[in-house]
Amino acid sequence: MNNSIYSIITGTGSCIPSRKITNESFLNNEFYDTDGSRLDKTNQEIIDKFEEITTISARHYIADHKVTSDMAFLAAVEAIRTADIEKEELDYVIVAHNFGDVKHDNNRSDFVPSLAARVKHKLEIKNPDTVAYDITFGCPGWLQAVIQADYYIKSGDAKKVLVIGAESLSRISDPHDRDSMLYADGAGAVIIEAKQSSTPTGILAHKTRSDTFLYSKMLHMDKSYNPEFENENAIFLKMNGRRLYQYALETVPQAIKACLEKSHTHLNEIKKVLIHQANGKMDDAILRRLYNLYEIADLPKDIMPMTVSFLGNTSVATLPTLYDLILKGKLQPHSIAEGDLLVFASVGAGMNINAMIYKV
């Protein structure tokens, strides 16, 4: 049987900031509604309802003297180490993010040079043929970068690619918006390499969609909900949470099913569903709808590993961090073994959705 080229993940790394922020940290915030009026509930009531809806009780924030590319670098170092490769052999360094390097005392995005260029510099890679660039694609950005890496490898253009997802959402969240409790910071990275195999392995299929005509503004940047916010020019991440919830339930399961069919895989064959985590209950609902598409009433136990309750929403860092934690035995009882079939899926600003079927 003839060999084909497949893209496999050979190394993983993640960076979870040490600064833990519990829900009680928001007890002194002044929360406002979208119309600029103070919310009429106590902060304790707001926080309790938030945790009930999202399952989030804690998250981690980056240290004041650090920026997103610092976390990206640390995750990259670990991925390169576990892959046991020479960094100069990398054909691409792709960094997925959405806000660049945002400083703790200034929420302006800093994109120049690209975060990938900054990471390549920090890694001290001298090879000019190691192409470094960024991708902004909402929360699905890391998975979309992995898909691009797969195209490079399948075309013969690359043999080794470093893909990183890194974000500091704490620095672009409005302290007067209760949605600010969703957001967190972190980074995750993988090394993807070419492998010749006579049987399918690694990335088996992927599917992406962009629903921009109707839904491009469900996540956007706007002023603080506090009409008297001290910096009237500052803008923050804003979200139509209820509509986004419904959109995700309507579209993500369908995208995953399409990807499964593309890879000739049945849902029953999947060992783990690794999904972007912005809201624990939303992910539970997405999973149930996915199984309903296959008329499966009983969901397998431990099929969907979760980190959102203690890490919050880290955007592009969620999936690579989740995968890294499982592989390194840091998310018990979950484990992944050779030959397991996995689903990766994400939804976010754009609105964009992607899914990938991966054989370990």
Q: Which tokens in the block code for residue 328?
A: 């390194």
pLDDT of res. 44:
96
**Edge-to-edge strands, sheet with 352-359:** 202-210, 352-359, 341-348, 270-275
Q: What is the mean pLDDT of residues 228-232?
A: 86
Q: What is the mean pLDDT of residues 145-163?
A: 98
312-323: pLDDT as tens digits: 999 999 999 999
pTM of the complete model: 0.95
pLDDT of res. 254:
97
pLDDT of res. 106:
85
Peptide bond into 221 cis (omega under 30): no
State the average pLDDT for the chain: 96
244 contacts: CB under 8 Å, gap ≥ 6:
218, 219, 351
Burial class (CB in 10 A: 0-12, 13-18, 19+), 338: exposed
What secondary structure letter does DSSP report for 86? -
Handedness of CA 233, 278, 286, 50 (dihedral sign): negative
Residue 357 banded pLDDT, cuts 50, 70, 90: very high
Domain ranges across the chain: 4-197, 202-359
Domains 4-197 and 202-359 share a fold: yes
Residue 1 banded pLDDT, cuts 50, 70, 90: low
Residue 245 clears pLDDT 70, i.e. is over it = yes
Q: What are phi and psi of 141, to 5 degrees?
A: -60, -45
169-196: pLDDT as tens digits: 999 999 999 999 999 999 999 999 999 9
Which fold does the domain 202-359 belong to in CATH? Answer: Peroxisomal Thiolase; Chain A, domain 1 (3.40.47)
Q: In the chain, pLDDT over 70 holds for what percent of residues?
A: 100
Q: CA–CA separation, 26 vs 119, rounded Å?
A: 33
341-348 vs 270-275, strand pairing mode: parallel
CATH 3.40.47.10 applies to domain 4-197 = yes
Burial class (CB in 10 A: 0-12, 13-18, 19+), 6: buried
1 contacts: CB under 8 Å, gap ≥ 6:
198, 199
What secondary structure letter does DSSP report for 39? P
86-122: pLDDT as tens digits: 999 999 999 999 999 999 988 889 999 999 999 999 9
Residue 261 banded pLDDT, cuts 50, 70, 90: very high
